[in-house]
Chains A and B, each alone.
Chain A
């Protein structure tokens, strides 16, 4: 009898240790999300906090995930080839990086490391499996480096006043622009208008810091966006996380947020990029702003007459219509298009949980954060 009880005592660790480990695995994330109680603020006060934010240097890890319901594509394989083939000479190294990266970031999840050392110094590292892509901006130089192909691209910017504007434009065209929650939050907050209800949600903890949650809810029901919440650091006013919820989907359709952040200025060496001796280096002049360095922004083609995109509707349910003449030829020629789109009444469409794109049979392209039916109605 004694033997039995002694033996069962010896079996105790086999149950206790796994139980403790499982409990710890469950409890640690819960603790990180433990309730935070900050002094109450009105939405206006939180907006002011964001506006007055003076953070200019920080480094951190950003995690971004998208659940848009896009068909999964092997973008890394087929894309760059088909894109480079379709594009004019001389532009082929920047644009594939831009377009493929943008498309790639719309599916799955990604991790970046972000270093910002003031206005004109930044470095974004996209962490891939056994590889990395870097965008380094240091004053008048922008370096793009891809470890997979061991290729570096150098863009030099004129530091004169006119070129400053171009540099800002180029920066806004780089897909990594969306890498930091702060930049994305700026876009949403810049477009605040009466069509949006702004409220303060529950205080929470993001990247180990207590945050106010600013919730933007569209007043109209005609959009696919259910709400956008922005987590604002309670001390510095820096937006740390942006979450976009789609109608009828409980998990976030798009989320980008810091998982760790450090407000110390990063080491200046990080921004002084010298391409490795073995890399193929492409020197690239600043693309002229009218040519449109990206294929994914319809607005870039606005220069020529008769090609102006038309905006209909207001606020969240705005529909952008790109006339057939302004649609880049390489877009409709791209073999990926068939893979991405499905045939619908009157054309082809890409429907995601947040954005719908409708390519009508006559060549026009409609896009908006609205259901497909609204785009089809606009096409008629």
Chain B
């Protein structure tokens, strides 16, 4: 890694180290998105809407309204619903899985490869490294959801007629407005995954074994969703990071309801703050041996 060269601590160096944060971010992002693993995950994400659309296209049976995952019965009438259906299908397991892999790998991956201490020799510092790693994971959340949305829109437009979209409220909106809503949904889902990303980053600071951190992150996301369906724990539900994951349905109502967007953002912010603080304390006090 370019920024891991050992540099003398002169005042000029410290100054450029401020810009070095951006260099570090740039190199982190390019490493992340040059990885085959990242590409494989993004391709798998893009395949979800494609599989859905192809299956619906090839199938001769027509779905009764309300059958199958939400919006699936609308897909044959309007290809723009492919993206929404794929999002509903991907949120509970597949997206958390990819986030778990990326976020769990952040620190533990470097430690496992033995590159962590070289990263820290540069004047970047541990806090900056944490921030850069988190920014990389958050960017992956955005890219993954955008991949899903875009591939859904393309495959939907390729296989099915495209027209004005019927919202949950029964009102109809034009194609450009529906694309705008798709982007809003992607933004919502990205925000939804920020809390889990920070949890993954925290787990990643605990261990030198990246697989352990990845598995722990995925397990936590599954546990949160199990807790979310136990009615005896309903006092806890609004504070589970997974509680608002499917709340993007509110973006498909007329008039647009941004209430759950805000609530989701607050909950995710709480998780980012708590696990960010834990990750900071753990990482700056940790002995880096590898």
Please determine whether B170 and A152 come into contact, CB atoms closer than 8 angstroms.
yes
Given contacts A14-B280, A267-B255, A270-B255, contact A130 B88 (CB under 8 A): yes
Cβ of A148 within 8 Å of any chain B Cβ, yes or no, is yes
Quote the shortest CB–CB distance from B217 to chain A (angstroms): 19
Between A and B, how many residue pairs show CB distances below 8 Å? 93
A17 to B272, CA, bound (A): 10
Interface string of B78-121 (1 = CB under 8 A from A): 10000000001000000000000000000000000000000000
Within 8 A of B (CB), among A138-189: 143, 145, 147-152
A277 to B246, CA, bound (A): 26
Please determine whether A10 and B246 come into contact, CB atoms closer than 8 angstroms.
no
Cβ of A12 within 8 Å of any chain B Cβ, yes or no, is yes
Please determine whether A147 and B280 come into contact, CB atoms closer than 8 angstroms.
no
Given contacts A10-B285, A61-B259, A278-B77, contact A150 B166 (CB under 8 A): yes
A239 to B278, CA, bound (A): 46
Interface string of B224-245 (1 = CB under 8 A from A): 0000000000000001000000
Cβ of A7 within 8 Å of any chain B Cβ, yes or no, is yes
Of B88, B166, B239, the residue contacting A278 (CB under 8 A) is B166
Given contacts A132-B169, A150-B73, A152-B170, contact A12 B246 (CB under 8 A): no
A147 to B84, CA, bound (A): 15
Please determine whether A21 and B65 come into contact, CB atoms closer than 8 angstroms.
no
A174 to B279, CA, bound (A): 54
Interface string of A272-306 (1 = CB under 8 A from B): 01111111000000000000000000000000000
Residues in A whose Cβ lies below 8 Å from that of B250? 127
Please determine whether B277 and A17 come into contact, CB atoms closer than 8 angstroms.
yes
Please determine whether B70 and A21 come into contact, CB atoms closer than 8 angstroms.
no
Please determine whether B270 and A275 come into contact, CB atoms closer than 8 angstroms.
no
Cβ of A205 within 8 Å of any chain B Cβ, yes or no, is no
Quote the shortest CB–CB distance from B243 to chain A (angstroms): 12
A18 to B281, CA, bound (A): 12
Within 8 A of B (CB), among A4-62: 7, 10-14, 16-18, 20-21, 25, 61
Quote the shortest CB–CB distance from A37 to chain B (angstroms): 29
Please determine whether A16 and B277 come into contact, CB atoms closer than 8 angstroms.
yes
Quote the shortest CB–CB distance from B221 to chain A (angstroms): 19
Please determine whether B284 and A10 come into contact, CB atoms closer than 8 angstroms.
yes
Residues in B whose Cβ lies below 8 Å from that of A2? none
Please determine whether B65 and A148 come into contact, CB atoms closer than 8 angstroms.
yes
CB-based nearest A residue for B271: A21
Cβ of A113 within 8 Å of any chain B Cβ, yes or no, is yes
Cβ of A131 within 8 Å of any chain B Cβ, yes or no, is yes
A151 to B169, CA, bound (A): 11
Interface string of B248-290 (1 = CB under 8 A from A): 0110011101010000000000100110111011101100000
Quote the shortest CB–CB distance from A304 to chain B (angstroms): 38
Of B172, B246, B249, B274, the residue contacting A18 (CB under 8 A) is B274
Please determine whether A134 and B259 come into contact, CB atoms closer than 8 angstroms.
no
Given contacts A25-B270, A127-B253, contact A145 B169 (CB under 8 A): yes
Within 8 A of B (CB), among A113-134: 113, 125, 127, 129-132, 134
Quote the shortest CB–CB distance from A299 to chain B (angstroms): 32
| Total residues of chain A contacting the partner, CB 8 A | 39
A25 to B166, CA, bound (A): 37
Of B170, B246, B276, B284, the residue contacting A134 (CB under 8 A) is B170
Cβ of B131 within 8 Å of any chain A Cβ, yes or no, is no
Quote the shortest CB–CB distance from B258 to chain A (angstroms): 12
Please determine whether B74 and A150 come into contact, CB atoms closer than 8 angstroms.
yes
A133 to B239, CA, bound (A): 27
Given contacts A14-B280, A150-B73, A267-B255, contact A21 B170 (CB under 8 A): no
Residues in B whose Cβ lies below 8 Å from that of A275? 170
Please determine whether B281 and A13 come into contact, CB atoms closer than 8 angstroms.
yes
Residues in B whose Cβ lies below 8 Å from that of A16? 277
A260 to B257, CA, bound (A): 12
Please determine whether A279 and B277 come into contact, CB atoms closer than 8 angstroms.
no
Residues in B whose Cβ lies below 8 Å from that of A11? 281, 285
CB-based nearest A residue for B282: A14
A270 to B168, CA, bound (A): 14
A21 to B273, CA, bound (A): 8
Residues in A whose Cβ lies below 8 Å from that of B8? none
A25 to B66, CA, bound (A): 37
Given contacts A132-B169, A134-B170, contact A10 B281 (CB under 8 A): yes
A134 to B277, CA, bound (A): 45
Quote the shortest CB–CB distance from A92 to chain B (angstroms): 16
Residues in A whose Cβ lies below 8 Å from that of B74? 150, 278
CB-based nearest A residue for B278: A14
Quote the shortest CB–CB distance from A333 to chain B (angstroms): 25
Please determine whether B172 and A277 come into contact, CB atoms closer than 8 angstroms.
yes
A334 to B14, CA, bound (A): 80
Quote the shortest CB–CB distance from B73 to chain A (angstroms): 7
Please determine whether A279 and B239 come into contact, CB atoms closer than 8 angstroms.
no
Quote the shortest CB–CB distance from A279 to chain B (angstroms): 7
Please determine whether A147 and B169 come into contact, CB atoms closer than 8 angstroms.
yes
CB-based nearest A residue for B172: A276
Please determine whether A279 and B285 come into contact, CB atoms closer than 8 angstroms.
no
Quote the shortest CB–CB distance from B106 to chain A (angstroms): 18
Please determine whether B281 and A12 come into contact, CB atoms closer than 8 angstroms.
yes
CB-based nearest A residue for B249: A130
Residues in A whose Cβ lies below 8 Å from that of B274? 17-18, 21
A88 to B246, CA, bound (A): 38
* A residues apposed to B, CB below 8 Å: 7, 10-14, 16-18, 20-21, 25, 61, 113, 125, 127, 129-132, 134, 143, 145, 147-152, 260, 267, 270, 273-279
Could you write out 9 A-B pairs with CB less than 8 Å apart?
A12-B281, A14-B282, A17-B273, A17-B278, A113-B257, A127-B250, A130-B88, A150-B73, A276-B170
Which 6 interchain pairs have the tightest Cβ spacing?
A17-B277, A14-B281, A276-B166, A145-B170, A13-B277, A132-B168
Apart from A17-B277, A267-B255, A278-B78: 14 A-B pairs, beta carbons within 8 A: A11-B285, A12-B281, A13-B281, A17-B276, A18-B274, A20-B273, A25-B239, A129-B246, A130-B249, A145-B170, A147-B169, A276-B170, A276-B172, A278-B74
